[in-house]
Structure 1
């Protein structure tokens, strides 16, 4: 395998549907990735009750990780990174630093929990606050509902 900016890519994933759609988008690039670190952030809200029971959110994270692992059983090496925090962008950037990733990659999303991350000001924050390249994986025609 040749050196590539995507050799070790961190990919944030929010839901099971997002995991399937992100895997579709990664399909064309996966051969260039040696290690794929899947990041799922369980958002904590300061001063407010959590949105869902903690155990249910951990179970959702397990399902997300399993979807990616089952989709790419023969490579790349897949790492799980479960993070907790009040700011998804901060957690994704920190995860990339912690695992010494070569890039952060994402699939543009039309909506959902990570919409803030991947559109508008938060995508700008991800690009400007990360010391790593940010790669957009897009696969025309692959829509997961």
Structure 2
């Protein structure tokens, strides 16, 4: 990961991910937004791992069948691949399973010796964040490697 000053009369910053980044995506729209925001920061040496964590209930009843959630992950990967295929980066996808989404993301980052976890924050109201455990906030608070929240690409 590089943060460079690029000067051409005015001060600007350029962020480039030139190593391995883990990109969690919760749903197809989230994956697409994140891929769009990430694409311009990739280099030929970038390795992107798009992950979707299938949360297991840990002894309780799961919200949906594993096969339904794997199909959901396939939709996420298809939409992110469409955007990232125009870059020179290496792109992989992985379905992960675990009882704690944030813990599983950081375990994967460690297993792959990733340089950062990269995401775009999703809009949501405070009540929804409280009910879902606010994964974005936990990613930042419990970070074991750098976590980068990219602004959404509005172009």
RMSD across aligned C-alpha pairs, in angstroms? 2.4
1:15 is the counterpart of 2:42: no
How many angstroms does 1:103 deviate by? 1.1
Q: Find the counterpart in structure 2 of residue 123 from structure 1.
A: 139
Report SS of the residue matched to 1:94.
Answer: helix
1:26 is the counterpart of 2:38: yes
Residue ranges of structure 2 left out of the alignment (5+ in a row): 3-15
1:99 is the counterpart of 2:112: yes
C-alpha contact 1:106 1:136 (8 A) present in aligned 2: yes
C-alpha contact 1:35 1:78 (8 A) present in aligned 2: yes
Residue ranges of structure 1 left out of the alignment (5+ in a row): none
How many angstroms does 1:140 deviate by? 5.7
Q: Which has the higher contact order (CA 8 A, sep 6+)?
A: 1
- Larger-gyration structure (1/2): 2
TM-score (ref. length: structure 1): 0.81
Which is worse superposed, 96-105 or 109-118?
Answer: 109-118
C-alpha contact 1:9 1:33 (8 A) present in aligned 2: no
Q: Which has the higher strand share?
A: 2
C-alpha contact 2:26 2:53 (8 A) present in aligned 1: yes
C-alpha contact 2:39 2:84 (8 A) present in aligned 1: no
TM-score (ref. length: structure 2): 0.76
Report SS of the residue matched to 2:85.
Answer: coil
Aligned residues: 135
Task: Give the Cα–Cα distance (whole angstroms) in 2 for the partners of residues 38 and 27 of structure 1.
Answer: 13
